[in-house]
Amino acid sequence: MPLRRLAVALALVIFTSSAFAKDVYLSITGTVGNFRTDARVFNPSATKDITITASFLPVGNGNNAGVSSTTFTVAKRQQKVLDDVVAAIFNTSGLGAIRLSCPDDFEATARIYAQVATGTLGQFVPGLQPGAALTKGVLLQLKSNAAFRTNIGAVNPTNSTATVTWRLYDKSNALISTGTAMTMPPFAVIGPTNMAGGLFFGVPGGADLNDSWVSFQADQPIFAYSSVIDNATTDPTFIPAVNDSGETIIVQPPTAKVYTVTLRSFSITFSPEPDVKQGDQVTLNIVNQSSDLHGFSVIDPNGNILVPAMTVPGNKAPISKSFTAAAQGSYTYFCTQPSCGTGHDNMFDVFTVGKASENDRPGY
């Protein structure tokens, strides 16, 4: 009998210690330009301090599964004040989501704002658990006109690649546009992007985007949000996605494009020649066919780093890197090893990503 009671007691201890284990995501934070983010983390326990594991997931729709993490402690029944959290905790800058993990219960919120004297009140960003992520969602109360603009962002809180299709409707509920299916790698973050800019869907000229709305469907649950910004005051309003329990969209996987990228002294060549459309999933098999040490990186038209700077040793097996060509325009690729030789400055070029609806390659 005592052994049985001991087993029950141990089971209760195990259950109690794991019952509140959770992740919390802050969908958009940043230290960039005039913008800063203040975060607050609350420990509800009256009996113990807790340790939070924090990871910064940069924007760019890249695979963030391997990012490093750091920890901080929140004392019992206290709030942790984390002003300029991206710089203070992660010692970095830029835009991205923050993932907070702990085996104990906690709460987290953030506010992203402009810090200049004439800056804004900012926008509140709720901390969301993965269970709140959606495979079907709706973004409401959107505006894009002379007075307002709307940015859309998303976070994939899973360790699997998510395929997402976005659709845009006007205030009369007419479907304006269906976007090409895009992929979001594990823990990827799409930063706040103007919904009229063509990343999520095409916007026909003259479309009325006042009181418009957006739906999305994904094969993995994601967080999505919109930020409606007053063009005069720059005051933003954060609007999280709400659940869409209705119509099912058939999500078509994006087209896969595979290229061999060859580094030589001193040139970079693609085989076959790039023929990429918006929404394509691109895989680059990068090989250095010289004895010199070279590097490689790719940046999209918006400055997002799709292939982070990497070292490519000579005469080794190819290194594979994948990304989604989410934006139209010129993608720049270049060598990241200045010590490779006097011809290093010639080791760069661009390829162009055209609209998904284009049948022919873009002209030059």
The amino acid occupying position 164 is V
What number does CATH give the domain 256-354? 2.60.40.420
Parallel, antiparallel, or unpaired: how do β-strands 281-288 and 319-324 relate? antiparallel
In the chain, CATH 2.60.40.420 covers 256-354
> In the CATH scheme, what architecture does the domain 133-243 have?
Sandwich (2.60)
Place of tokens 């494009």: 257
Sheet containing strand 123-128, edge to edge, reads 69-74, 50-58, 94-102, 22-31, 123-128, 107-114, 35-42, 79-82
The contacts of residue 92 (CB under 8 Å, 6+ apart) are: 31, 56, 86
Gap between the Cα atoms of 61 and 225, Å rounded = 15
Residues of the chain with CATH 2.60.290.11: 21-130, 133-243
Instruction: Provide the CATH number for the domain formed by 21-130 in this structure.
Output: 2.60.290.11
* Residue 263, beta-bridge partner list: 268, 288
Show pLDDT as tens, one digit a residue, over the chain (364 residues).
444 444 434 444 433 333 447 899 999 999 998 889 999 999 999 999 999 999 999 999 999 999 999 999 999 999 999 999 999 999 999 999 999 999 999 999 999 998 876 667 789 999 999 999 999 999 999 999 999 999 999 999 999 999 999 999 999 999 999 988 999 999 999 999 999 988 999 888 888 999 999 999 999 999 999 999 998 888 889 999 999 998 665 555 667 899 999 998 889 999 999 999 887 889 999 999 988 889 999 998 888 888 998 999 988 889 999 888 877 889 999 999 988 887 888 899 999 998 764 333 332 2
- Reference 137, options 128, 124, 146; nearest CA is 128
